């Protein structure tokens, strides 16, 4: 009788229902070295959370890396502008008014004879401070009001919706001209307060919709059935899963708030001289744009790069936190 040919499949086939597998030594050793099974997956592979998955994507996103480096540089020179500009931004020499680039003064001088480079570097502090503090105030106030309205609903939700409609109807620049023109304080706090006053409705709408969506999920219903009270549901189960859209919108809005501060300062109702601000320098350089265009170019370019960096950062964060884009 002819010898039956060797078939490798039979070496690992079972011997019937409930039979044992006949594995070779090499196959058994391979399976023992592979964690969780032959495909390398199993209970030892810990799934990543939304935040760790987002950070994993952000580290490989060139848009996030470039914008992050620009923002880091802006923060450093905002805290310590003397690291790259040791001069006094308020020191001016009329004899050098509208002169171009010179040794030690790479950006030239403005119409008052002030060093444009020094004022551009020191102006970053005002813009970053207003942008960051305004964004924090808007995010906190809008998230609290919108989150509570979305969670409890009812009459409070209706009141908040009508209140946000009223604030949305106020033109931002016109409102700034009216409100800030009657304030004599030459600090950043009136500007920050105005931005928070008119900026929270946008974050409130986002937080409200996100909370309404999150509270309908099965894990929230399960926690409610197990006896969790409202504060625990809101803080432990809903907020961590509803905060991502708020972070995305707030990050993008930060660049808008910096631009708004410069616009108000340009119009003369935001910061006023002798404060150092990109908006003030742009306003002062506008009449001399033909004779000294460099005095307008550098603060305008710094403002544009800063706003663009924060918008790019917001876009990168949005792409990383939005599961629909995966």
Question: Cis (ω within 30 of 0) for the bond into 236?
Answer: no
Per residue in 185-221, pLDDT tens?
888 999 999 999 999 999 999 999 999 988 888 888 8
H or E, element range at 260? helix 244-267
Say yes or no to pLDDT of 2 above 80. no
Q: Which pLDDT score is estimated for 163?
A: 92
- pLDDT for the residue 47: 61
CB atoms within 10 A of CB 163: 14
Reference 271, options 171, 154, 176, 164; nearest CA is: 176
User: For residue 46, what pLDDT band results from cuts at 50, 70 and 90?
Assistant: low
Q: What's the CA gap between 104 and 279, in Å, rounded?
A: 24
Q: Looking up tokens 């500009």, which residue turns up?
A: 85
Task: Tell me the pLDDT tens digit for each residue of 280-309.
Answer: 999 999 998 888 899 999 999 999 999 999
Rounded to the nearest angstrom, the gap between the alpha carbon of residue 205 and the centroid of all alpha carbons in its chain is: 17
List phi, psi (to 5°) of 114.
Answer: -90, 150
Contacts of 21 (CB under 8 A, 6+ apart): 12, 13, 14
- CA–CA dist 161, 136 (Å, integer): 22
Which of 68-72, 161-165, 286-290 holds the top average pLDDT? Answer: 68-72
**Cβ contact 279:271 at 8 Å:** yes
More confident residue, 314 or 30: 314
In this prediction, residues 243-258 reach a mean pLDDT of 91
User: Which of 290, 255, 291, 284 shows the shortest CA–CA distance to 267?
Assistant: 284
In the prediction, which pLDDT does 244 show?
A: 86
Is the pLDDT assigned to residue 173 strictly greater than 80?
yes
Which has more confidence, 118 or 322?
Answer: 118
Query: What per-residue confidence (pLDDT) applies to 59?
Result: 86
Q: What's the confidence (pLDDT) of residue 50?
A: 66
- Directed axis angle between helix 189-214 and helix 172-180, to 10°? 140
Is residue 275 within 8 Å of 130, Cβ to Cβ?
A: no
Domains of the chain: 53-325 (1.10.3720.10)
> What SS3 state is found at 24?
coil
DSSP helix/strand/coil, 92: strand
Residue 133 banded pLDDT, cuts 50, 70, 90: very high
The CB density around residue 43, as the number of other CB atoms within 10 Å, is: 8
Q: 121 pLDDT exceeds 90? A: yes
Cα–Cα dist 54/48, whole Å: 9
What's the rounded Cα separation, in Å, for the pair 184 and 180?
8
pLDDT of the residue at 8: 45
Residue 91 or 235, more confident = 91
Cα angle value 67/278/302 (rounded, 5°): 30
Residue of higher predicted confidence among 222 and 192: 192
pLDDT of residue 323: 60
């Amino acid at each position: 009788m002819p010898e039956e040919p060797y078939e490798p499949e039979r070496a690992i086939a079972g011997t019937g229902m409930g039979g044992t597998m006949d594995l070779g030594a090499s196959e058994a050793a391979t399976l023992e070295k592979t964690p969780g099974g032959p495909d390398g997956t199993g209970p030892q592979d810990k799934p990543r959370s939304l935040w760790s998955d987002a950070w994993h994507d952000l580290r490989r996103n060139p848009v996030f890396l470039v914008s992050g480096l620009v923002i880091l540089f802006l923060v450093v020179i905002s805290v310590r502008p003397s690291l790259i500009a040791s001069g006094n931004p308020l020191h001016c020499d009329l004899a050098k008014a509208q002169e171009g680039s010179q040794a030690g003064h790479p950006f030239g001088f403005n119409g008052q004879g002030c060093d444009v480079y020094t004022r551009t570097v020191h102006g970053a502090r005002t813009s970053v401070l207003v942008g960051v503090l305004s964004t924090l105030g808007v995010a906190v106030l809008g998230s609290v009001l919108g989150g509570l309205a979305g969670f409890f609903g009812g009459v409070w939700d209706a009141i908040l919706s009508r209140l946000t409609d009223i604030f949305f109807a106020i033109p931002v620049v016109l409102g700034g001209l009216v409100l800030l023109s009657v304030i004599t304080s030459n600090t950043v706090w009136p500007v920050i307060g105005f931005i928070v006053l008119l900026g929270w409705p946008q974050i409130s709408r986002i937080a409200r919709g996100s909370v309404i969506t999150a509270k309908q999920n099965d894990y929230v219903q399960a926690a409610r059935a197990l006896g969790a009270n409202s504060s625990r549901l809101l803080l432990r189960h809903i907020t961590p899963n509803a905060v991502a859209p708020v972070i995305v919108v707030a990050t993008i809005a930060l660049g808008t708030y910096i631009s708004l501060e410069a616009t108000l300062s340009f119009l003369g109702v935001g910061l006023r001289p002798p404060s150092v601000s990109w908006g003030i320098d742009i306003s002062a350089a506008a009449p001399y744009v033909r004779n000294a265009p460099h005095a307008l170019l550098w603060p305008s370019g710094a403002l544009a790069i800063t706003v663009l960096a924060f918008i790019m950062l917001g876009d990168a964060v949005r792409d990383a936190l939005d599961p629909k884009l995966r």
